[in-house]
Protein backbone atom coordinates (compact mmCIF):
# COMPACT_ATOMS: atom_id res chain seq x y z
CA UNK A 1 0.00 0.00 0.00
CA UNK A 2 1.47 3.29 -1.12
CA UNK A 3 1.54 5.97 1.56
CA UNK A 4 2.78 9.56 1.61
CA UNK A 5 3.64 11.51 4.75
CA UNK A 6 4.52 15.19 4.93
CA UNK A 7 6.84 16.59 7.58
CA UNK A 8 8.39 19.92 8.42
CA UNK A 9 8.09 22.97 10.65
CA UNK A 10 4.58 24.16 11.41
CA UNK A 11 5.69 27.76 11.90
CA UNK A 12 7.87 29.82 9.58
CA UNK A 13 8.81 33.48 9.93
CA UNK A 14 8.03 35.97 7.18
CA UNK A 15 10.77 36.31 4.55
CA UNK A 16 12.24 32.93 5.49
CA UNK A 17 12.14 29.67 3.54
CA UNK A 18 9.46 27.04 4.08
CA UNK A 19 10.85 23.52 3.83
CA UNK A 20 8.74 20.36 3.73
CA UNK A 21 9.47 16.73 2.99
CA UNK A 22 7.18 13.99 1.72
CA UNK A 23 8.24 10.47 2.63
CA UNK A 24 6.96 7.76 0.30
CA UNK A 25 6.42 4.20 1.49
CA UNK A 26 5.21 1.16 -0.40
CA UNK A 27 6.59 2.38 -3.73
CA UNK A 28 9.97 3.42 -5.05
CA UNK A 29 9.95 6.98 -6.39
CA UNK A 30 12.54 5.97 -8.98
CA UNK A 31 10.10 3.47 -10.51
CA UNK A 32 7.81 6.07 -12.02
CA UNK A 33 5.00 8.56 -11.51
CA UNK A 34 5.13 12.26 -10.75
CA UNK A 35 5.18 13.61 -7.23
CA UNK A 36 3.50 16.88 -6.51
CA UNK A 37 2.79 19.51 -3.91
CA UNK A 38 -0.63 21.12 -3.49
CA UNK A 39 -1.75 23.62 -0.87
CA UNK A 40 -4.97 24.97 0.56
CA UNK A 41 -4.97 28.33 2.25
CA UNK A 42 -7.51 28.86 5.05
CA UNK A 43 -10.98 29.22 3.63
CA UNK A 44 -9.74 28.88 0.07
CA UNK A 45 -9.47 26.25 -2.60
CA UNK A 46 -6.70 23.95 -3.69
CA UNK A 47 -3.62 25.21 -5.54
CA UNK A 48 -1.04 23.15 -7.41
CA UNK A 49 2.46 24.27 -6.41
CA UNK A 50 4.53 22.00 -8.60
CA UNK A 51 5.64 18.46 -9.36
CA UNK A 52 8.75 16.43 -9.93
CA UNK A 53 9.09 13.38 -12.13
CA UNK A 54 10.70 10.11 -11.17
CA UNK A 55 13.64 11.19 -13.36
CA UNK A 56 13.98 14.54 -11.60
CA UNK A 57 12.28 16.88 -14.08
CA UNK A 58 10.45 19.71 -12.35
CA UNK A 59 7.30 21.62 -13.21
CA UNK A 60 6.13 24.65 -11.28
CA UNK A 61 3.06 26.83 -11.09
CA UNK A 62 4.09 30.09 -12.79
CA UNK A 63 2.49 32.03 -9.95
CA UNK A 64 5.05 30.57 -7.53
CA UNK A 65 7.88 29.58 -9.83
CA UNK A 66 10.32 32.27 -8.74
CA UNK A 67 10.15 31.06 -5.14
CA UNK A 68 9.72 27.27 -5.45
CA UNK A 69 12.19 24.43 -5.60
CA UNK A 70 11.13 20.78 -5.60
CA UNK A 71 13.76 18.09 -5.33
CA UNK A 72 13.92 14.33 -4.86
CA UNK A 73 16.14 12.14 -2.70
CA UNK A 74 16.07 8.66 -4.17
CA UNK A 75 18.20 7.22 -1.38
CA UNK A 76 15.58 8.20 1.20
CA UNK A 77 12.63 7.70 -1.15
CA UNK A 78 11.32 11.16 -0.47
CA UNK A 79 10.83 14.48 -2.19
CA UNK A 80 10.94 17.98 -0.84
CA UNK A 81 9.50 21.45 -1.25
CA UNK A 82 11.25 24.73 -0.59
CA UNK A 83 9.32 27.99 -0.81
CA UNK A 84 11.37 31.10 -0.26
CA UNK A 85 10.51 34.59 0.91
CA UNK A 86 7.27 33.48 2.52
CA UNK A 87 4.53 35.83 3.62
CA UNK A 88 1.28 35.37 5.50
CA UNK A 89 -0.33 34.51 2.16
CA UNK A 90 1.67 31.27 2.18
CA UNK A 91 -0.08 30.07 5.32
CA UNK A 92 -1.82 26.89 4.26
CA UNK A 93 -2.20 23.16 4.59
CA UNK A 94 0.40 21.62 2.33
CA UNK A 95 -0.25 18.23 0.74
CA UNK A 96 1.97 15.94 -1.26
CA UNK A 97 0.36 13.69 -3.84
CA UNK A 98 1.11 11.26 -6.65
CA UNK A 99 0.03 11.46 -10.27
CA UNK A 100 0.89 9.79 -13.56
CA UNK A 101 1.66 12.73 -15.82
CA UNK A 102 1.92 16.49 -15.62
CA UNK A 103 -0.14 17.08 -18.74
CA UNK A 104 -2.65 14.89 -20.56
CA UNK A 105 -3.03 13.07 -17.25
CA UNK A 106 -5.99 10.71 -17.08
CA UNK A 107 -5.27 9.54 -13.56
CA UNK A 108 -5.51 12.55 -11.27
CA UNK A 109 -3.90 12.68 -7.83
CA UNK A 110 -4.58 9.14 -6.71
CA UNK A 111 -2.58 9.04 -3.48
CA UNK A 112 -2.31 11.96 -1.02
CA UNK A 113 -0.52 12.63 2.20
CA UNK A 114 -2.57 13.72 5.20
CA UNK A 115 -1.38 17.28 4.87
CA UNK A 116 0.62 19.51 7.18
CA UNK A 117 -0.40 22.97 8.36
CA UNK A 118 2.22 25.68 7.94
CA UNK A 119 1.69 29.08 9.47
CA UNK A 120 3.77 32.08 8.45
CA UNK A 121 4.06 34.44 11.37
CA UNK A 122 6.67 36.29 13.37
Residues that contact another protein, how many (by CB under 8 A): 26
Q: Contact between 10 and another protein (CB under 8 A)?
A: no
Closest CA to 46 of 110, 119, 115: 115
* CA dist., res. 62 & res. 98, Å (int): 20
Q: Which is nearer to another protein, 16 or 64 (CB)?
A: 64
Q: Which is closer to another protein, CB of 19 or CB of 111? A: 111
Site for another protein in 16-75 (CB under 8 A): 36, 45-48, 59, 61-63
8 touches another protein by CB under 8 A: no
Between CA 26 and CA 40 the distance in angstroms is 26
Dihedrals phi, psi of 90, to nearest 5 degrees: -90, 0
| Nearest to another protein of 97, 120 (CB atom) | 97
What letter would DSSP give residue 66?
A: G
Element (H, E) at 34: strand 34-40
Q: Which residues on neighbouring strands pair with residue 119, listed in sequence order?
A: 11
* Binders of another protein in range 81-110 (CB under 8 A): 95, 97, 99, 101-110
> Which residues make up the interface to another protein (CB under 8 A)?
36, 45-48, 59, 61-63, 95, 97, 99, 101-110, 112-115
Amino acid sequence: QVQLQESGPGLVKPSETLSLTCAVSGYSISSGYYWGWIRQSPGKGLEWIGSISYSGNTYYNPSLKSRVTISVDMSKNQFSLKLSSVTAADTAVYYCARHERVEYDSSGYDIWGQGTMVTVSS
